Structures are given as structure tokens and as C-alpha cells.
Amino acid sequence: MKLPLTPLLFVLALVLPSFAAAQAPIPAPPELNAKGYLLIDFNTRQVLAESNADAPLEPASLTKIMTAYVVFRELAAGKIHLDDRVTVSEKAWRTGGSRMFIEVGTQVSVENLLKGMIIQSGNDASVALAEYVAGSVDAFANLMNDHARRLGMTNSHFTNPNGLPDPELYTTARDIARVAMAVIDEFPQYYSWYSTREFTYNNITQPNRNPLLRRDESADGVKTGYTQAAGYCLVGSAKRDEMRLVSVVMGSPSPNARAEASLALLNHGFRFYESHRLYPAAEVVQNLRLWFGEQEALPVGPATDVYVTIPRGSYAQLSARLEKAVELRAPIERGTRIGDLVIDFGKQELTRVPLVALVTVPEGGLLRQAKDSILRLF
């Protein structure tokens, strides 16, 4: 949904009129029985509700979101393949807790191990994948921590791929949301597995443990977790129309409590907020005057999709302005930052994204340069 733009004059910012209307205040998020929680808009990364979101907590099987992310990265790099056959070690076979029931000495495809870990929450599958990717669980944990640092997960530390209790294994609601969103964003071809209702391996069919898949038709992920120390945890994701929300609940006292808390968060976000893509990446927002080039008009647009999250029913309070950094003179390369596209909500700046040249324009010939030199005098 695009905000209209009128012609930009000289180097002044363009301001669209704002049609502000009185808005009823958004009620406080529901009180939840959890040690920490977070609700965030996937497209804008705007936090809609949180409590103790930066407190280090035991993640239990939420750890497997990071495990999957590391394996997905290895697949994307071509270092491993979905049809690779992994020989199951005794260590993987003996791993306790939830299992996909792989047998020692057998060979299982990477794809089946991933599905067994994602859908069935197999601890044994997690260890088998870790050993195949990195040679050992400890080496794989180092990869997990490397990716955590790269993703900005500053309050997390991983020691194993499955989340079994360890005093040095911890994360936060904000950090685990970050890697969950990275999975959704970077690997949509694999993310669909998180909404698979059941998986059969070795003639054993097990259901997906995520209760949101059975209680909310818009939910399509992500992962549950439980240990006695961690309590009941759940990372949820749901999409309605253009809006995707990600919820994190950690340390609930029961399976039903984590499900109810997750649904309460998601329903609060969808009920009281709305999300819009105002401008697609690389779409022409304005044609600006370019001096001394082969053409007079330079098409410019945002370098990335422009999304906003606003209180429901308040779209009319949005306004857009183009802030141009410099006078435009050829030659100019495609991708050169021209300035910023700024979106305001009422009198408050909501977001800004780089505004870039969408084409390359070389310097014009002598006639064009002479003409523009004269025009600039007036």
C-alpha cells in the first residue's frame, strides 16, 4: 500500500499532509505466566510486547532453531546436501529425551534428520546432524556461537545442539526471536517444514509438538521446548494478510500455559496493530532532476522494502518525505545513495530507509552540459 508522492522541488524535503485523528489508546498486553516473553513484527522488527526479554534463560529445545539455522547455512553454502547419508553414531543413538528413533550404524539422509529434529524434536537427530556438519558436538557448538554473534545474539551461549540442560547453555527471548526470524527470512524453502503436522520415520509416526498449529490456522511455526529447569517454552509465528508476528514464551509452568500465553500475545498483536508494505524495494518512488547527464530524470527508490507497523485504523496518520542529500550531477552509478525516504507517523519519525539511484546515468555530451549550465543560472 503506497503513500502518494508529489513532485520534489529543488533540495527541499517533500512532506505529505498528515490527517491525524484521535486514536483510542492500545491496551496493555495481557499478563502472562512466563519467565520472559516477546512479541515482534517480523517485517519491521518492531517490538509490540515484552517482559524480561533480555534475561538469560535456559532454552531447552528452542536450541534446535539455532541448530537448524546452522545446518541450513551449510546447505546454502553447498558444503552438505539434503540427500547426503549420515551414519548414526552411538552417541547420537544414546541421546536421551525426545527422539526420532534413529538406530546406531544406520544411514539417514540430512533431509530426514532435519525433519526429525524440526517436526519430532529429535535430540538424537540433532546430535547426528551436529557430528556430520562439524565432526563433533563441541565443534558444532562453536559454529552455533559464531552464528549467534553474527546475528547479534549478544546474550546467548550454546553448548549442544539439542538443548539438554547445561549450566553454560542459555539464551533470551529477544535472541531466540532473532534466529527464528533469520530462519523465516533466509530459508523459506525449509521453513515450511515447521508447519508439517506429523512425520514418520522407522515406521513410527510422531506429531508436531507445536500446539499453535492445531489452535490457530494462521500459525505456521516455530518450536516448543521443555526441561524441568527451563519450564515450558514456545516460539510461535503466524501470518495474517501482510502481517507476520513472532512470539516467544519462555519458562511457563505447563504446556497449556505456554500455548495460552502464545495465543494471547499473537491475538493482541493482530487485534491492535497492522502492518503495511508501503514501497517495494527498487520501485521508482520519484524521478529527480539530474544535471549534466545523458538524461534529465533520475529514477530513485528505496534500497529495501519499506514496511511500517502502526496502531490498527491509523493509516491516515502516515506521511512520507524524501530527504535528498546532495544536488544530483552525472555521472551517477546505480545504487548510489541519494538521500533517505522517511516515513512519519503524526509528528514522529517512524522509519527511514536509504533512497538510491535505480539506474546508471553517464555524463552527457557537450551540448547537454552547455544546456544544463545555462539552465542552472536561472
Active site residues: 61, 64, 121
Inter-CA distances, 340 with 4, 14, 337, 357, Å = 16, 11, 8, 11
Inter-CA distances, 156 with 56, 99, 152, 182, Å = 7, 25, 9, 15
SS3 (DSSP) at 149: helix
Q: Give the list of residues 6+ apart from residue 63 with CB closer than 8 angstroms, or none.
A: 158, 160, 161, 162, 163, 169, 171, 225
Phi/psi for 304 (5° steps) reads -135, 165
Task: Calculate ∠ Cα 308-178-222, nearest 5°.
Answer: 95
Cis amide leading into 311 (omega within 30): no
Give me the residue label for grid cell 514418520.
200
Answer for the pair 293, 317: CB distance below 8 angstroms, yes or no: no
Amino acid residing at 63: T
Answer for the pair 279, 2: CB distance below 8 angstroms, yes or no: yes
The greatest distance separating any two alpha carbons of the chain, rounded to the nearest whole angstrom, comes to 83
Give me the residue label for grid cell 557537450.
366
Q: How far apart are the two ends of the chain, measured CA to CA in Å?
A: 38
Q: Give the list of residues 6+ apart from residue 274 with CB closer than 8 angstroms, or none.
A: 243, 309, 310, 311, 312, 313, 315
